[in-house]
Amino acid sequence: MEYTAEMIARLLNGTVEGDPGTKVNTIAKIEEGKPGALSFLSNLKYEQYIYTTGSSVVLVRNEFRPAREVRATLIRVDDPYQSVARLLQIYEAARPAPKGIHPAAVIDETASVGEDVYLGAYVVVSANAVIGSGSSIYPHTYVGDGVKVGKNCTLHAGVKVYSDCVIGDNCILHAGAVIGADGFGFAPVADSNFMKIPQIGNVVIEDNVEIGANTCIDRATMGSTVIQCGVKLDNLVQVGHNVVIGENTVIAAQSGIAGSTKIGRNCMIGGQVGFAGHLSIADGCKIGAQSGIMSTVSQENAVMLGYPAIDSKQFLKSFVYFRKLPDMSSKLDALAKSVGSLKDR
């Protein structure tokens, strides 16, 4: 599809600076721009590229003032990053969505499938499962006994949803996600062996949640593991049994949450963060990548780094000394030798 700068500005409530008739038909990173492409400048560390980009149109902030001439047509908006996200949503919505039920799909006679649903090849919908209207389930996805999938959901290829789990409306589960596998529950017995504890709970995913590829959310031992409204989980996240993740919290890739930990609302968790079990994390916390959370965080909006994680400002101060430890150790050894020499005298 082709749009003019003027059309895009109207969609985004922006202002054109340059030729409003400039046409674009694709989107590109500003450093890789080419004629006919739309780019955006949100982070000023990329400002150098706006003077050399080949893109025809660039989205910039209203307050942006170029240091020299810009060849591209500019569209000034409040937030370029949000604006390009809106454009991508429009583009995605314009793409034809698959519909219908593939002949190779297997649907149990007791299952309920809503209207306007897509079921791809080798999808399995088990006994008493419910698929809401407008949902799309891609090939090789398994929907277990008694599972409920809400309206307008997308389950990409190879998703596995174990029995009795619940998925709300408008959720997206990316390829290979596993919902409701057994929690890691074993009781030590004699001779250093372990007895498996049956995991008889389920997973409840509320509305507007997105789950990344190959992310695993374990079913509860009893009760439910709960992912509340608006949560976004990146790829390769591990969520243990009976965990609760609060509304609108986002968690980056390779983070792991041990069983029965409760994470508050509106938290931002970096990649490879590890949470010990049975903790509580207050609302609004921000935890930097590769941090280790070993105890409950009661302070709302805390910003933490390190392992074990501490206040980010304290961590950065401590890190200054940490880098100096080899030099300080050498000086301490030299001082010890001097003191020993003085004693000998």
Is beta strand 124-125 parallel, antiparallel or unpaired with respect to 23-24?
unpaired
Tokens representing 202?
């389920």
CA–CA distance, 108 with 300 (Å, rounded to integer): 47
Catalytic residue, from 140, 156, 174, 241: name it: 241
241 is catalytic: yes
Residues 6+ apart with CB under 8 A from 82: none
Tokens representing 19?
């030729």
- CA separation, residue 344 to residues 232, 265, 332, 338, 340 (Å): 66, 64, 18, 10, 6
CA–CA distance, 254 with 281 (Å, rounded to integer): 18
3-class DSSP state of 45: helix
Tokens representing 110?
């007791």
Is beta strand 224-227 parallel, antiparallel or unpaired with respect to 303-305?
unpaired
| Residue from 296, 298, 317, 278 nearest 306 by CA | 317
Largest CA distance in the chain: 96
Enumerate long-range contacts of 93-98, CB under 8 Å, 24 or more apart: 94/1, 97/136, 98/136
| Residue from 273, 276, 242 nearest 258 by CA | 276
**Residues labelled as active-site residues:** 241
